[in-house]
Amino acid sequence: MLLKVAIIVLIIYIIVVTRSRIRLPNPALRATVDVLQAATLKDEHVMQMARKYIDYADAQNALLPLDDPYAERLDRLTSRYVAVNGVPLNFRVYKTAQINAFATADGSIRIFSGLMDLMNDDELMAIVGHEMGHIRNSDTLSAMRKAYLTSAARNALGGVIGSLSGSQWGSLAEKLAGSQFSQGQEYAADDFSFGFLQRNGYDPYAMASALEKIHRTSQRKDGQADAILQLFSTHPDSFSRAARMRAKADAAKALPAA
């Protein structure tokens, strides 16, 4: 037992103090190394990884140019929002029928054109506010850290600061795309969006109606219903979340005017 503890202490020393790359044949010890490597990642390293990840993601998707009508609409709606919780924001559109949006820890928010087709301006800003909430609450930072821990990218200690291979980026992207926020994280991001809508003069019911549209579309028996599955994979339980946000808007409406 004492020998095992001594080995673990030695591993921690090597990783934290020297940050050297070590190779252990024992899978259990190697797993310990992987966990400790991820645990010692500083937030700035994760942010650096997020910036490099979004470059990879943009290159892998149909990133629309800034003069495209979709991009111009998004810019018209979002240009005044430059940062959240000190993290600078940037917005771009992917041309795809999928109905989705996502944010990364570095402040990048990517909106899919299929989502923009489905939403009016206020509803679209409700989704934007939700993604801003995930950034503000550091959910995206935690998700990137977890994706690194569970992907092939974890096998390169210098991968956060140096360059990962294409297969390592692909593994990281797969883990990040398949990750889910907890119900508490989703509710907190919804609440942030609700406040965002109120503060900026948007329809307070916009988050509820956006989620209701997503739910209705998912019930259809056509290609658009298939496209919605991507949104459900990362934003679960849209029906109950819509009811919660509608009740929140009803309660705010019932309050006496200040």
Given a contact cutoff of 8 angstroms between Cβ atoms, the answer to whether 116 and 197 are in contact is no
User: How far apart, in whole angstroms, are the C-alpha atoms of residue 202 and residue 221?
Assistant: 32
**Residue 1, Cα to own-chain centre: how many angstroms?**
41
- Residue 186 annotated in active site: no
Catalytic residue (one of 131, 174, 186, 212): 131
User: How far apart, in whole angstroms, are the C-alpha atoms of residue 168 and residue 179?
Assistant: 17
User: How far apart, in whole angstroms, are the C-alpha atoms of residue 51 and residue 246?
Assistant: 35
Query: What letter represents residue 61's amino acid?
Result: N
Residue 256 CA: distances (Å) to CA of 1, 251, 252: 66, 10, 9
Sign (positive or negative) of CA dihedral 172, 68, 130, 47 = positive
Residues assigned a catalytic role: 131
